[in-house]
Amino acid sequence: MKKIIFILLAVSTLFFSCKNDKDEIDIHQNDMLALNPNVQWAVVIEPYAAFRTEASWNAGTNDHSRLGDVLMIQGNAILESSNESSSKEIWYRFDKGWLSESSVSVYQNKYKAQSASKEITK
């Protein structure tokens, strides 16, 4: 009888200790850019952000992005801010165009960006 209780207790402990954590990051071995130290990633932090054709607020729009979108940064530009002549503004280039630093948060790898995206879109 004690053996049966011990076995049931051991099986139930094993069953309850195995959890399905949906917050875990799924690391794919074939995603070579995800952890590349030379590639930065951005997460859109505004409800909607318009991609610009150039690094300027006066440029036309190409496309739009939404809160939580994870994007690979392809380049950047540092420009004089239109508000004050002494301040600088960073613009980031993506596949679909340019976004200002005020529209995104920058991360050192794709997995950190994906985790941040999950947090802000909860």
CATH number at residue 91: 2.30.30.40
| Vertex 36: Cα angle to 35 and 42 (nearest 5) | 75
Asked if residue 56 is part of any domain, the answer here is yes
| H helix or E strand, kind and range, residue 63 | strand 61-66
Asked if residue 62 is part of any domain, the answer here is yes
Asked if residue 21 is part of any domain, the answer here is no
pLDDT in tens, 51-75: 999 999 999 999 999 999 999 999 9
pLDDT in tens, 15-34: 555 555 555 555 555 566 77
Name the residue range of residue 86's domain.
34-120
The pair of structure tokens assigned to 44 is 């859109």
d(CA 58, CA 6): 72
Asked if residue 8 is part of any domain, the answer here is no
Torsion over CA: 108, 44, 91, 82 (sign)? negative
Asked if residue 40 is part of any domain, the answer here is yes
pLDDT of residue 102: 95
pLDDT in tens, 78-100: 998 766 566 889 999 999 999 99
Say how many domains are in the chain: 1
pLDDT of residue 82: 65
pLDDT of residue 6: 55
Asked if residue 12 is part of any domain, the answer here is no
pLDDT of residue 76: 96
8-24 residues labelled b (16+ CB within 10 A) or e (exposed): eeeeeeeeeeeeeeeee
Asked if residue 83 is part of any domain, the answer here is yes
**Percentage of residues in the chain having pLDDT higher than 70:** 70
Asked if residue 112 is part of any domain, the answer here is yes
Band the pLDDT of 2: cuts 50, 70, 90: low
Q: What is the mean pLDDT of the chain?
A: 83
What single-letter DSSP state applies at residue 107? E
